[in-house]
Amino acid sequence: MEESRKDLKVMVIDDSNTIRRTAETLLSKTGCDVITAVDGFDSLSKIADCQPDVIFVDIMMPRLDGYQTCALIKNNSQFRHTPVIMLSSKDGLFDKAKGRIVGADDYLTKPFSKNELFEALDRYAQPQTA
C-alpha cells in the first residue's frame, strides 16, 4: 500500500506540537506531502490553498474545535468529499457519534500507533488526479 501514499496531500490539524510533529514525520517518511495547522482557523485557508486528500483533525482545540472545523469543511461543496478523520484523547461513544453528525469519516484515539495512522490513511486516501 505504501506506493499509493506517494503523492498524497495530508493535513494534520492539532494544537499539540508533539502530535503534529509525530504525524508529520511518520507520514513524510512514506512519501506524503504533509501540511500542518495549529487549530481550525489556521487550517481553513491552508485547506483552500493546498486541497489535501485527507484531513486529520484534533477535537479539543482553542478557538475552533475539531467538530466545528469538520462541519465547516463538510459544508463546503469543494471539500465535502474530502475524508476527515477525528483525533481525540477520549474514545467515548458520545465523541464518535458527535463526529459522525458533523460529517467525520473516521475516528482515531490518541495516542494512535503508526499502524492505526496508516490504516486510516489507506482506507480513505485517493490522490486527486489533476
Q: What's the whole-model pTM score?
A: 0.92
Proportion of the chain above pLDDT 90, given as a percent = 80
The pLDDT tens digits for 79-89 are 999 999 999 98
Q: Which cell numbers in the block locate residue 21?
A: 510533529
pLDDT confidence of 130, banded at 50, 70, 90? very low
Report CA dihedral (15, 22, 120, 122) to the nearest 10 degrees: 130
All domains in the chain, ordered by first residue: 2-122 (3.40.50.2300)
Please return the burial class of 10, using the count of CB atoms within 10 Å of its CB with bins 0-12, 13-18 and 19+. Answer: buried
Mean pLDDT of 90-109: 91
